[in-house]
Amino acid sequence: MRSFIDNKNIIEKMDNLIRFKSTGTPEDFAKKLNISERKLYRLIKKLKEFGCPIVYNNYKKCYEYEYDGNIIIKFSPKNNEHIDLNKINGGFFNNFLLTDSFWQCDDLYLNRDK
């Protein structure tokens, strides 16, 4: 059974391959992710439920997003207080600021370029 971190890494790799349109066929895509095709289909279905605009392009034989954007998995506090991200992430700064260009879907954020 894969851990949450393993699944997070798989989703991030999926996002990169989809954005660069280098997934190939579902069989190729699953091999690149080192998962079964069945798991690939389950992950794609789940991401679509979260609002990811993933489609398969039969002409190019690859998955792609219907419009530009990317997946961001992060924690976001409920209140709007200013938080110094340098203190939260062990001194490393993540440039993930919540703006109106982010869509919240539970713990998954979709950054839709305008």
Q: What is the pLDDT of residue 77?
A: 73
What is the CATH topology of the domain spanning 4-65? Answer: Arc Repressor Mutant, subunit A (1.10.10)
Query: By C-alpha distance, which of 44, 51, 43, 55 is closest to 104?
Result: 51
CA distance 62 to 18: 8
pTM of the full structure: 0.65
Per-residue pLDDT of the chain (114 residues; tens, 9 = 90+): 567 778 899 999 999 999 999 999 999 999 999 999 999 999 999 999 989 999 999 999 999 999 999 998 877 777 656 656 555 555 444 444 444 444 444 445 555 554
In this structure, which amino acid lies at residue 66? Answer: E
- Listed in sequence order, the residues at least 6 apart from 61 whose beta carbon sits closer than 8 Å to its beta carbon are 24, 25
Structure token digits, residue 89 = 């992430």
- CB atoms inside a 10 Å sphere around CB 25: 13
CA distance 21 to 15: 10
What residue ranges of the chain are covered by domains with CATH 1.10.10? 4-65
